[in-house]
Amino acid sequence: MSILVNRDTRVVVQGITGGEGRFHTSQMLAYGTRIVGGVTPGKGGQVVENVPVFNTVAQAVKETGGIDASVIFVPPPTAADAILEAVDAGIKLIVTITEGIPVQDMVRVKKVLIDHQVTMIGPNCPGLITPGETKLGITPGTVFTPGPVGFVSRSGTLTYQVVDELTRAGLGQTTCVGIGGDPINGTSFQDVLRLFRADSATKVVVLVGEIGGTQEEEAAQYIGETGMPVIAFIAGRTAPEGKKMGHAGAIVSGNKGTAAAKVKAFQDVHVPVCETTGEIIERVAHMLKAPVPR
């Protein structure tokens, strides 16, 4: 099993005729993703990687016989409108790769997502992948393999590193989700944990957090209430106060968003917080009673 996406998920790519959209469409198709259409206003009638291009998402939905998810590669100034267009067309899963969407735009988008009960991954994220079935976004499919480990992270780079180590250790994944590191995103750690908890194939979850915001603390509270098996890792422990580290949301203000506060929140509910990525592998293997290659 998996969460959010599988081999049957029908996908549209918004911004398919741009450089990033075109390249990653080819990569997703090569992995097996069912991309049934693309959208770029004014470019309808073109074909990209054998995928028909439409002027609007509504037209794509009508002409292709239905779409389950959208992947957005639209520049920041118009990305919010692209998200809202997908919502208006009835798409219930949106993966927004775009980085740098203005915060005020995301405030407006967030309300619409909630009102229409739409799940959005991102923005400023690598997307998500169900290994061996489908990927939506920019994740390098070669480092993932099917298995019992759920994975959720705010960091794209750490996702690739940790998952590669898991795969090399024979510890495959059900679904891996990069929620993005912006101050306002569509899906939280807690949202993803809730989905993993309902998935019988996911036996343990690896959560990679970072400084800034309170999502990790909220996730810790949920884990404490449910008792689900989770192993955590917090990036940015050496970041100085008030210093943004990489992501727009990775900024510490006063006592909020510190690495220490996040580590304590997890430790208070008996979630192991690893010091190194290698320790993640050891703890996952121990929890699954699997041998660790030496």
The Cα–Cα gap between 237 and 235 comes to 6
**∠ CA(135), CA(183), CA(106), 5° rounding?**
75
The answer to whether residues 281 and 169 touch, using CB atoms and an 8 Å cutoff, is yes
Q: Is the peptide bond before 123 cis (omega within 30 degrees of 0)?
A: yes
Continuous H helices in 70-122: 76-88, 103-115
Half-sphere exposure of residue 175: CA atoms within 13 angstroms, side-chain side = 24
Q: How many helices (H) and strands (E) does the chain have?
A: 9, 14
Count other C-beta atoms under 10 Å from residue 251's C-beta.
Answer: 19
The answer to whether residues 271 and 229 touch, using CB atoms and an 8 Å cutoff, is no
Q: Of these residues, 24, 247, 270, 286, which one is catalytic? A: 247
| Nearest residue to 287 via CA among 275, 266, 271, 276 | 271
Could you list the beta-strand ranges (E) of the chain.
Answer: 10-14, 34-39, 47-48, 51-54, 69-72, 93-96, 119-121, 127-130, 134-137, 146-153, 173-178, 204-210, 230-235, 273-274
Q: Is 270 a catalytic residue?
A: no
Q: Which neighbouring-strand residues pair with 93? A: 69, 119
The Cα–Cα gap between 43 and 53 comes to 7
Active site positions, annotated: 247
